[in-house]
Amino acid sequence: MGLFERWTASGEGDKIPIHPFGAALSELARGAITKAQLVAAFELDAEDQVELDAIATKYESEPTALAKAAFIGKLEDVIVLCEAGLYTKAKAQTELGF
């Protein structure tokens, strides 16, 4: 299905719980959990993992620690707005530079 679809999904079975997922992304970025732990915890499929890898690549490409922190903050804002129904998949991708 893909992360962007799961962030904007209305069905309970497909939707990722946004706040725990955002926290897990922050912990992954800090090195406190592994990608494998995140994948297992949220039952991410292959398509989800491709998008997770793209997000990680974008994060890693940020030139400074401050820019990396700003990217994580923006990512968390975007996924919360997806859950609220204010962002579509396309809007979320645009906001995150995809």
Q: 42-54: per-residue pLDDT in tens?
A: 999 999 999 999 9
pTM: predicted TM-score of the whole model, two decimal places: 0.88
The reported pLDDT for the residue numbered 9 is 84
Residues of the domain holding 75: 3-95
pLDDT band at residue 13 under the 50/70/90 scheme: confident
Cβ atoms of 14 and 59 within 8 Å: the answer is no
Q: What angle do CA 40, 82, 98 make, to 5 degrees?
A: 80
- Other Cβ atoms less than 10 A from the Cβ of 91: the count is 15
**Type of residue numbered 62:** E
For residue 15, pLDDT over 90 is answered with no
Helix (H, G, I), strand (E, B) or coil at 38: helix
Domain count, the chain: 1
In whole angstroms, what is the distance from residue 70 CA to residue 57 CA?
A: 15
Q: How confident is the model at residue 92 (pLDDT cuts 50, 70, 90)?
A: very high
